[in-house]
Amino acid sequence: MKTLNVGMLGCGFMGRTHSNAYNQVAHFFPDLPFKPVLKCCYGRPEDLETLKKFRQAWGYEEIETDWHKLIARSDIDIVDVVAPNFLHKEMVIEAANAGKMIICEKPFAMSVAEAEEMVEAVEKAGVANMVSFCYRRNPAVSLFKQVVDEGRIGRPFHYRALYLQDYTISQKVPAGGASLWRLDAKVAGSGVTGDLLAHSIDAAEWINGPIKRVCAKTEIFIKERKNAETGEMVPITIDDACMFLAVFENGSIGTFESSRYARGRKNFQTMELNGEKGAVYFNLEEPEYIQFFRYADPSGQKIEDHLTGWQKILVTNSEHPYMSHYWVPGTMIGYEHYFINQLADFLAGISGGPECHPDVHDALRVQKVCDAVIRSAKEEKWIEI
């Protein structure tokens, strides 16, 4: 087994999900020829106490408060970027120039222009890379794609995606600091479009192919918030909510909706595809199921009318994606396993297995759709991707 030394750039929520994956991956995917070693983690000097606790909790050998130094170390193999969005570009480019393998959290970049520069640097360096759109690695979402790829939906007509949360409804929620940097446009780039809809767009393009054009409406419900770090009232410019219509290259049409003001919804994510021969539905609040409506087999043979109906498939059999690596059929896995699965796919990719996606090119595609959505809302017109 070859060791792979990891340098983690960030020590927040995503730092935890990624660190757990490095610690767990060899337990569940023992055939992979790599053993990740949590070598060093980075946090800002002002977050030193958090960084020390993070190191202790996940078992990093060392800490670093200057990320340039961490990237420059000759003993680091993988640079894992889980810092706030505005840092992704610099970190990814510097890591590529240093010849490191790169794993980067979504949204990949703040804009298409940034993403293009990052792709160019990664291409030039020829380093292995993956962008973390973790929900693809939910076994039920993977089965959703498999069912579509097997031709069981037939000609697709409608793609429908929701991604709803409600944690910013109160005026008292500040902008900036800890996880609330997501409300600060300078740090996050966009609001729900980059933070939430990027997941929905990635899944949609993976399952249903490229989006051709979009028409969007965004809204900011609370226009001013206190900045958590300075205490000053600051204007809010990120999109609190976003809805858009999409036309896919395969001729189907889609609707996407996202909000942080959907009272009662915490991390509510659904996707549905309706086609000529069938339909598939996924809801993250029932993460181990897909629902499948069978109207006709891929051959065109119609199901007898009295036997048609929605089937709720429990995706825990060892024949289902990823599940043979876990427990016995009928037992569940959770959110953290999506990160373990994606890391396993990345490690399989660098050891001669199937090429790992989403890579920086797929992430650039998502960025193009996100930028087009924001532009469409601003200009109040359809935008071609």
Residues 150-169 that bind ligand SOE (CB under 6 A): 165
For residue 306, how many other CB atoms are within 10 A of its CB?
A: 6
Smallest distance from the beta carbon of 259 to ligand SOE, in angstroms? 12
Written as one letter, the residue type at 253 is I
3-class SS letters over 235-287: ECCCCCEEEEEEEECCCCEEEEEEECCCCCCCCEEEEEEEECCEEEEEECCCC
For residue 83, how many other CB atoms are within 10 A of its CB?
A: 25
Euclidean distance between CA atoms 129 and 132, whole angstroms: 10
Using the minimum distance from each CB to ligand SOE, give the nearer residue, 199 or 337.
199
Whether omega before 107 lies within 30 degrees of 0, making that bond cis, reads yes
Using the minimum distance from each CB to ligand SOE, give the nearer residue, 74 or 170.
170
Using the minimum distance from each CB to ligand SOE, give the nearer residue, 94 or 105.
105
Euclidean distance between CA atoms 333 and 21, whole angstroms: 13
Smallest distance from the beta carbon of 142 to ligand SOE, in angstroms? 17
Smallest distance from the beta carbon of 123 to ligand SOE, in angstroms? 26
Using the minimum distance from each CB to ligand SOE, give the nearer residue, 36 or 107.
107
351 binds ligand SOE (CB under 6 A): no
Smallest distance from the beta carbon of 199 to ligand SOE, in angstroms? 6
Contact flags string 213-252 toward ligand SOE, x per CB under 6 A? ----------------------------------------
Task: Judge whether 24 and 90 are in contact, CB under 8 Å.
Answer: no
Smallest distance from the beta carbon of 346 to ligand SOE, in angstroms? 18
Using the minimum distance from each CB to ligand SOE, give the nearer residue, 196 or 214.
196
Using the minimum distance from each CB to ligand SOE, give the nearer residue, 32 or 161.
161
DSSP state of 296: B
Residues 110-129 that bind ligand SOE (CB under 6 A): none
267 binds ligand SOE (CB under 6 A): yes
Using the minimum distance from each CB to ligand SOE, give the nearer residue, 137 or 199.
199
Smallest distance from the beta carbon of 269 to ligand SOE, in angstroms? 8
Using the minimum distance from each CB to ligand SOE, give the nearer residue, 107 or 278.
107
Using the structure block, give the residue that is written with the tokens 């399952």.
207
Bridge-based pairing state of the strands 156-164 and 129-132? unpaired
Query: In a 10 Å sphere around its CB, with 0-12 CB exposed, 13-18 middle and 19+ buried, how is residue 6 labelled?
Result: buried
Residues near ligand SOE (CB under 6 A), total: 4
Smallest distance from the beta carbon of 163 to ligand SOE, in angstroms? 8
Residues 170-209 that bind ligand SOE (CB under 6 A): 195, 199
DSSP state of 114: H
Residues 14-53 that bind ligand SOE (CB under 6 A): none
Q: Where are the alpha helices (DSSP H) in the chain?
A: 13-28, 48-58, 67-72, 88-97, 112-125, 139-149, 185-188, 192, 198-208, 335-350, 360-379
Smallest distance from the beta carbon of 92 to ligand SOE, in angstroms? 18
Task: Judge whether 132 and 41 are in contact, CB under 8 Å.
Answer: no
CA-CA-CA-CA torsion sign (325, 328, 329, 333) = negative
Using the minimum distance from each CB to ligand SOE, give the nearer residue, 34 or 206.
206
DSSP state of 154: -
Using the minimum distance from each CB to ligand SOE, give the nearer residue, 196 or 207.
196
Smallest distance from the beta carbon of 366 to ligand SOE, in angstroms? 12
- What is the edge-to-edge ordering of all strands in the sheet holding 101-105? 62-64, 34-42, 2-9, 78-81, 101-105, 129-132
318 binds ligand SOE (CB under 6 A): no
Task: Judge whether 288 and 139 are in contact, CB under 8 Å.
Answer: yes
Residue nearest to ligand SOE (CB): 195
- List residues near ligand SOE by CB under 6 A: 165, 195, 199, 267
